[in-house]
Structure 1
Amino acid sequence: MTTPYTPESLTRADVDALRGPAVLDFGTNWCGFCQAARPHVEQAFTTHGDVTHVKVEDGSGRPLGRSFRVKLWPTLVFLRDGQEVERLVRPRSSAEIADALQRLRAPGPAGR
């Protein structure tokens, strides 16, 4: 079952306070690129259920997207303890997303 983008309820302070691995998924429900990426995102997360996935409806006047300088949808921002470690803009495959999720969970520079 697909989860729609929802109007943001998180503030930047909320995001900065997140602990552990998380992904902010910026987009809109009417965006064709977002609809095309949705099955890839969902597939990648089936094996990474320990990573928090937050779908944030973005658009004009939405401060959270602006604070992350989101310019194109969908944009996936990968966070470790509230800090951005990677991002994917308009991902085209579940493998691309799964690889980024694996790096996020791994120890080292990207996974800290």
Structure 2
Amino acid sequence: MKNAKPVANSKRIKVLNNKNFKAATKRGVVLLDFWALWCGPCKIIAPTLNEIADSQTDFMVAKVNVDHNQQLAQKFKVRNIPTMLILKDGKEAGRIVGVKTKRTILKEVDAVMAG
């Protein structure tokens, strides 16, 4: 399971881990999904995140597997998954917990980008 892939893959979703996280998130806006292979709701939200990643160029969509990157989950106090953070220049600017619609997610990201 060490090399477990995200539940659903878009070529535009970046897989982040403890090693590449800081460099990948230090500039711009990132929609970051904390997920796990065993998480049913994570499987439900995955196609929506793929659609967002495939249609957006203004921000990056990324995933962090909580089972393999517990330090990141702890750093951001992720207690439930799926949890999506909206990072702006490396800092948390928004948080979405649970399965949400594409419209709701994009509204939250747009608010961070506008602010």
For the aligned pair, the TM-score class normalised by the smaller chain equals 0.7 to 0.9
Q: Deviations over 1:76-107 (max 9, x none)?
A: 0101111111000113211111111211221x
Q: CA deviation at 1:43?
A: 2.4
Name 1:92's counterpart in structure 2: 100
Name 1:82's counterpart in structure 2: 90
**2:58 alignment partner, SS class:** coil
TM-score, structure 2 as length reference: 0.75
Aligned pairs, number: 105
RMSD (Å), alpha carbons: 2.7
Name 1:53's counterpart in structure 2: 61
Q: Structure 2 unaligned runs (5+)?
A: 1-7
Is the aligned partner of 1:72 residue 2:80?
A: yes
Q: Structure 1 unaligned runs (5+)?
A: none
CA distance 1:47–1:103, shift in 2 (3 Å): farther
Q: CA deviation at 1:33?
A: 0.7
Task: Percent identity, please.
Answer: 26
Mapped partners of 2:76, 2:45: distance in 1 = 20
Q: Deviations over 1:54-93 (max 9, x none)?
A: 2000038710010000011111010111111100011321
Is the aligned partner of 1:105 residue 2:109?
A: no
